[in-house]
């Protein structure tokens, strides 16, 4: 049986030219970075701790101002004024403890002025998709770590963003839960084809999730490798893929690119 075809790309494209960041005191976080990301691509970013992965993501999100360089976004074919174009998911779920699961997911729509009935309907549909509809009336303190992160992702997706930015969202979870959420996120992207940038320390997670993996050097960060995972791995990725020789070979290649890009490497 052939794997299902990818849905048409619905995300926004990115064009970075000479993007650089220097913090006060002269701490240079990145070298000038130039990069093109196609609409609907899934890009993972890996690199050593403190190399500037999260800073780069925050610059793309508009949460940090680059010291130099430009970032432009191409319009999405489905862009309109009914939703935010960018959603950002942090390592911590950042749920409001006094709001129910349903109310947390609905918050972006509430802030956008969407009617109560419409935002509850859309939020419930997202909770059903992530398998948490039966917990809609619970509060964050009544959820597990994996459940809280699924609520956070549902909240990010409720506005149907063109660009989804994730900063190590599963890092604090146990390995089984993390792999389950990797599979769920990959399937969600497969269906919706928003553009995704995913920062992670895990080479295996990057390999499993992404169509394309960018490897950054130590600070000041520069791109030392740009691997097209989709050229080697199938579009439909299941748990069994992690045990395949092709998967192991790609993770080894990425590990070598990562170690070769560190200070002192030959």
Q: pLDDT for 14-28, tens place per residue? A: 999 999 999 888 888
Percent of the chain at pLDDT > 70 equals: 90
Buried/exposed 106-120: b ≥16 CB within 10 Å, e otherwise:
bbbbeeeebeeeebb
pLDDT band per the 50, 70, 90 thresholds, residue 90: confident
pLDDT band per the 50, 70, 90 thresholds, residue 219: confident
pTM of the model: 0.87
Number of H helices, E strands in the chain: 7, 11
Query: Which has the closest alpha carbon to 255: 225, 231, 235, 221?
Result: 225
Which of 48-57, 76-85, 156-165, 179-188 comes out lowest in average pLDDT?
A: 76-85
Q: What is the mean pLDDT of residues 139-147?
A: 91
pLDDT for position 84: 44
pLDDT for position 44: 96
Whether residue 81 has pLDDT greater than 70: no
**62-75 pLDDT tens trace:** 899 999 999 998 86
Q: What is the mean pLDDT of residues 95-100?
A: 94
pLDDT for position 96: 94
pLDDT for position 193: 87
pLDDT for position 83: 42
pLDDT for position 177: 85
Q: What is the mean pLDDT of residues 163-192?
A: 88
Tell which wins on pLDDT, 10 or 238.
Answer: 238
Whether residue 217 has pLDDT greater than 60: yes
pLDDT for position 190: 87
User: What residues contact 150, with CB distance under 8 A and at least 6 apart?
Assistant: 130, 131, 132, 181, 184
pLDDT for position 71: 92
User: What residues contact 111, with CB distance under 8 A and at least 6 apart?
Assistant: none
pLDDT for position 262: 65
């Amino acid at each position: 049986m052939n794997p299902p075809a990818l849905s048409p790309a619905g995300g926004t494209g990115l064009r970075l030219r000479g993007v650089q960041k220097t913090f006060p005191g002269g701490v240079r976080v990145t070298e000038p970075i130039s990069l093109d990301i196609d609409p609907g691509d899934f890009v993972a970013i890996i690199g050593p701790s403190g190399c500037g992965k999260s800073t780069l993501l925050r610059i793309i999100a508009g949460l940090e101002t680059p010291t130099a360089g430009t970032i432009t976004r191409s319009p999405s074919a489905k862009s309109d004024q009914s939703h935010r174009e960018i959603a950002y998911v942090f390592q911590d779920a950042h749920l409001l403890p006094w709001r129910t699961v349903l109310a947390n997911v609905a918050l972006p729509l509430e802030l956008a002025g969407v009617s109560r009935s419409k935002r509850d309907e859309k939020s419930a549909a997202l909770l059903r998709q992530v398998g948490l509809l039966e917990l809609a009336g619970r509060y964050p303190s009544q959820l597990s770590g994996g459940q809280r992160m699924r609520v956070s992702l549902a909240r990010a997706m409720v506005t149907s963003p063109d660009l989804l930015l994730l900063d190590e969202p599963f890092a604090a979870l146990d390995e089984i839960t993390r792999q389950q959420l990797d599979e769920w996120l990959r399937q969600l992207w497969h269906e919706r084809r928003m553009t995704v940038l995913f920062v992670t320390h895990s080479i295996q997670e990057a390999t499993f999730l992404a169509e394309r993996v960018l490897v950054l050097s130590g600070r000041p960060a520069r791109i030392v490798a740009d691997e097209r995972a989709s050229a080697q791995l199938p579009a439909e990725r299941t748990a069994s893929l992690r045990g395949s020789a092709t998967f192991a070979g790609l993770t080894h290649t990425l590990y070598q690119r990562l170690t070769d890009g560190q200070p002192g490497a030959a």
